[in-house]
Homo-oligomer: A and B are copies of this chain.
Amino acid sequence: MPSLAGTPAEAAPVPPKRERRKEARPGELLAAALELFVEKGFAATRSEEVAARAGVSKGTLFLYFPTKDELFKAVVRENVSGRFRELNQEFRQFEGSSADMLRTGLRLWWERVGATQASGISKLIMSEARNFPELADFCQHEVIQPCQELICWILQRGIDRGEFRPVDLRYAAANTIGAMVFLMMMKHSLAPCLPHDQRLDPQRFIAAHVDTLLQGLCVRPHGVNDAPAS
């Protein structure tokens, strides 16, 4: 069956069936945008890519977010707000040693935030804060401060209960927050470019961080040895 046509593969350019999913779209677009913004940066991501990754066309994106800037802000808002308030609640109810609290807290936090896509938000904020000043403020109030307060609260609890020796709360908290932020940023920056054996293992990094921390913090240093080997 000879044919003069070129590549016969071109059967029929399937029109990629339109789906009407008004409810689901914003979430899908935000997820796609988060991924891409984290991966390539805000400016280097094309609107069309976001749409494509969300499985819709260029035009649809602008149906839900009036501008790329607004999309960006929505991405940050979506992935930041609230997320920490619940963790906060949970912790205030925790019963047990403050050392366990710290250990469990960080482990939990990694599972719920660090290990998810949402962790990319920290890279995003660090990269874009100066281009979106309102964001810096928003994040300071919605993320940094709640976290800071939670950690300070735990440390204070430990001190009050005689478990921890007194320290400069703010900077002790900053130390831990810094470690977590670093971890998240690595995950979305250098790590994907490095061979597996050169990457940090988050769990071990956190464990090491907490161990060092508690070693220096705890009044009864042997308490550290109770820690479940990670």
Contact = CB atoms under 8 A, between A and B. Distances in A.
Interface of A: 39-44, 123, 125-131, 133, 135-137, 139-140, 144, 167-168, 171-172, 174-175, 178-179, 181-183, 185-186, 188-190, 192-194, 198, 200, 204-205, 207-209, 211-217, 221
A181 to B, nearest CB: 6
Each complex incorporates copies of this chain amounting to 4
Contacts of A126: 123, 126-127, 185, 189-190
Contacts of A43: 41-44
Contacts of A194: 136-137, 140
A179 B190 contact: no
B131 A44 contact: yes
Contacts of A190: 125-126, 129, 136, 139-140, 144
A200 to B, nearest CB: 6
Contact of A216 (B123, B185, B212): B212
Nearest to A179: B178
B39 A130 contact: yes
Contacts of A127: 41, 123, 126-127, 189
Contacts of A214: 216
A9 to B, nearest CB: 23
Contact of A182 (B39, B44, B182, B216): B182
A2 to B, nearest CB: 13
Contacts of A137: 193-194
A229 to B, nearest CB: 11
A185 B185 CA distance: 10
A198 B39 CA distance: 29
